[in-house]
Amino acid sequence: MPNLFGMTREEIEAYFLSKGDKKYRAIQVYEWLYQKRVFDIDLFSNIKNEVREELKKDFDTSFIKIHQRQKDELTVKYLFHLEDHEAIEAVVMMHDYGVSICVSSQVGCNMGCRFCESGRLKKRRNLKAYEMVQQILLAEADLGMRISSVVIMGIGEPLDNFLEVTKFIKIINDAKGIAIGARHITLSTCGLVPKIYELAKFSIQINLAVSFHAPYDELRNKLMPVNKVYSIPVLIKAIADYLQVTSRRVTIEYVMLNNVNDSIECAKELAHLFKGMNIYVNLIPYNETNHLEFSRSSKTRIKEFYDTLKSEKINVTIRKEFGRNIDAACGQLRGREIK
Q: What is the mean pLDDT of residues 306-321?
A: 94
Element (H, E) at 334: helix 332-338
**265: buried, middle or exposed (CB in 10 Å: 19+, 13-18, 0-12)?**
exposed
291 pLDDT tier (thresholds 50, 70, 90): low
Residue 23 pLDDT > 80, yes or no? yes
Residue 290 pLDDT > 90, yes or no? no
Q: Which of 8-12, 14-18, 37-41, 330-334 has the lowest mean pLDDT?
A: 330-334
Share of the chain above pLDDT 70, in %: 94
Q: What is the mean pLDDT of residues 226-255?
A: 98
Q: Write the CA distances from 136 to 50, 93, 130, 238, 305, integer angstroms.
A: 30, 12, 10, 30, 35
Q: What is the mean pLDDT of residues 224-248?
A: 97
- 117 or 151, which is more confident: 151
Q: Which of 272-276, 292-296, 306-310 has the lowest mean pLDDT?
A: 292-296
Annotation marks residue 330 as catalytic: yes
Q: CATH fold of 4-58, please? A: DNA polymerase; domain 1 (1.10.150)
Q: What is the mean pLDDT of residues 172-186?
A: 97
The CA distance from 85 to 187, in Å, is 26
Phi, psi values for residue 72, rounded to 5°: -135, -165
Q: What is the mean pLDDT of residues 37-63?
A: 97
What pLDDT score was predicted for residue 41?
98
State the span(s) of the chain assigned CATH 1.10.150.530.
4-58
pTM value? 0.93
Which position among 10, 86, 89, 304 bears the catalytic label? 89
Q: What is the mean pLDDT of residues 71-81?
A: 94
Q: What is the mean pLDDT of residues 166-186?
A: 97
Q: What is the mean pLDDT of residues 302-313?
A: 98
Q: How many of the other CB atoms lie within 10 Å of CB of 273?
A: 19
State the span(s) of the chain assigned CATH 3.20.20.70.
65-338
Residue 320 pLDDT > 90, yes or no? no
Which position among 10, 140, 330, 337 bears the catalytic label? 330
The pLDDT mean for the chain works out to 94
DSSP 192: -
Query: Is residue 144 within 8 Å of 106, Cβ to Cβ?
Result: no
Residue 239 pLDDT > 70, yes or no? yes
Q: What is the mean pLDDT of residues 70-96?
A: 95
Helix (H, G, I), strand (E, B) or coil at 78: strand
What pLDDT score was predicted for residue 332?
54
Give pLDDT tens digits for 193-203: 999 999 999 99
The CA distance from 168 to 262, in Å, is 36
What pLDDT score was predicted for residue 289?
76
Closest CA to 51 of 87, 73, 24, 76: 24
Q: What is the mean pLDDT of residues 198-219?
A: 97
264 pLDDT tier (thresholds 50, 70, 90): very high
DSSP 248: -
CATH 3.40.50.300 for domain 65-338, yes or no, is: no
The CA distance from 22 to 177, in Å, is 19
What pLDDT score was predicted for residue 338?
47
Q: What is the mean pLDDT of residues 263-280?
A: 98
The CA distance from 106 to 127, in Å, is 5
